[in-house]
């Protein structure tokens, strides 16, 4: 999720391709660090620990996506992604993108299914949660 701002802010996140692969018999958690122009301390958000990673006998699908731009008022926001099967590009029948606006007080808007979204002045201070779904 990214906070909507009137001016762009330089993201400081690792690219998906820079991350190391998961190792069998290990556990992982997602850690997101964020900074704010109004709070001096960085914010840390962690997921619960994953199950122990095991070798998959099933096909291994991944959704790889480009880093999202920082949302800005009146600037079209899109997400670029691709579906991988066992590490290689694969075909799919359909792709959907769902956007949920989250107001500064935590109120969630209704999901909007569209390939891109244009934040307005009314969205300033809000964030977007983006869900990608592939059907194959």
DSSP-assigned letters across all residues of 58-74: S--EEEEEPPPPPPBTT
Greater confidence (118 vs 47) lies with 118
> pLDDT digits over 6-49, tens only?
333 344 445 545 556 667 777 766 666 565 556 666 666 666 66
Helix H or strand E segment including 97: strand 94-102
Could you tell me how far CA 115 lies from the centroid of its own chain? 14
> pLDDT digits over 66-117, tens only?
887 778 889 999 988 999 888 888 998 999 999 998 888 889 999 999 999 9
Cβ neighbours for 68, distance < 8 A, ≥ 6 positions apart = 2, 77, 79, 130
Q: What local confidence, expressed as pLDDT, does residue 7 receive?
A: 39
- CA 119 to CA 125: how far, in whole Å? 10
Q: What local confidence, expressed as pLDDT, does residue 9 receive?
A: 38
Please tell me the total count of domains within the chain.
1
Q: What local confidence, expressed as pLDDT, does residue 122 receive?
A: 85
Residue with tokens 């692969």: 21
Q: What local confidence, expressed as pLDDT, does residue 32 receive?
A: 62
Instruction: Give the residue numbers spanning the domain of 47.
Output: 2-135
Q: What local confidence, expressed as pLDDT, does residue 125 receive?
A: 85
């Amino acid at each position: 999720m990214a906070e909507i701002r009137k001016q762009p802010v330089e993201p400081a996140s690792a690219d998906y391709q820079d991350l190391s692969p998961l190792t069998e018999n290990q556990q992982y958690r997602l850690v997101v660090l964020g900074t704010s122009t109004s709070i001096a301390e960085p914010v840390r958000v962690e997921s619960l620990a994953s199950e122990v990673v095991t070798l998959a006998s099933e096909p291994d699908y991944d959704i790889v996506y480009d880093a999202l731009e920082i949302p800005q008022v009146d600037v079209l926001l899109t997400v670029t992604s691709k579906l991988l099967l066992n590490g290689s590009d694969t075909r799919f029948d359909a792709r959907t993108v769902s956007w949920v606006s989250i107001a500064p007080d935590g109120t969630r808007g209704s999901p909007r299914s569209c390939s891109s979204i244009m934040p307005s002045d009314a969205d300033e201070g809000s964030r977007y949660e983006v869900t990608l779904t592939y059907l194959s």
